[in-house]
Structure 1
Amino acid sequence: MGTTVTDNPDASRFEITVDDTVAGWVDYREHEGEYALPHTRVLPEFEGRGIGSELIVQTLRTIAERQGSVLPFCPFIPKVLHDNPELIDLVPADQRETFGL
């Protein structure tokens, strides 16, 4: 199973593909390097494989490479951040409590 996460700026979302098939995405609204992430979706046929976590981790790493910050409104993202504490710094310190971080 080959997966790839790419930014699709025309759709304002990061997408994960499995063997060239879109398996899920995380929507974003970007303003001056701050990414609000309101919704994550994994298609039913790809659920239960860790696709969602992989999508979020790779999305956060891409945002980190861009020196951006994250507002994780989707309730799944803070759960992934708890499992990957090295990425929590992407959430502004004054916003972490809002998201349970």
Structure 2
Amino acid sequence: MATADPDDIALADHPDRHRFELHAGGKLAAYAEYNVLANALLFTHTETLPGFEGRGFGSRLAAFALDDVRARGLGAIPVCQFIAGFLRKHPDYQDLVTPANRRAFHI
């Protein structure tokens, strides 16, 4: 599943690399790594690369990844601090996280 927008942003899941990626202007700008579990994606690390910080790319990537999790009927386990922080700020995604994991990650 990949999308592009007028800002020359492309978002895609790369299951072979276990990560979602955001490309800006044809260059890798941010990625969110995950492990596949039976009923969930466990997010382990999200990074915005130098030169691309402060432009909201991490949040766009998090929303894309969580929308994909929802579309696949999976849950999310936010071990990654960035994804956990995004979930705290966006309650519309919190249903993807079990109540026990919401407590564990302070969501």
Structure 1 and Structure 2 fold alike (TM over 0.5): yes
CA distance in 2, matches of 1:33, 1:66: 10
Match of 2:64 in 1: 58
Could you tell me the percent identity over the aligned residues?
A: 33
Matches within 5 A, 1:1-101: 1-101=7-107
CA distance in 2, matches of 1:80, 1:74: 10
Please state how far the C-alpha of 1:19 moved relative to its aligned partner: 2.2
Match of 2:3 in 1: none
Please state how far the C-alpha of 1:4 moved relative to its aligned partner: 2.0
RMSD between superposed Cα atoms in Å:
1.0
TM-score (norm 1): 0.94
Count residues in correspondence.
101
CA distance in 2, matches of 1:28, 1:86: 21
Structure 2: where are the runs of 5+ without partners? 1-6
Please state how far the C-alpha of 1:2 moved relative to its aligned partner: 2.0
CA distance in 2, matches of 1:68, 1:20: 29
Structure 1: where are the runs of 5+ without partners? none
CA distance in 1, matches of 2:35, 2:87: 19
Write 1 or 2 for the structure with the bigger share of strand: 2
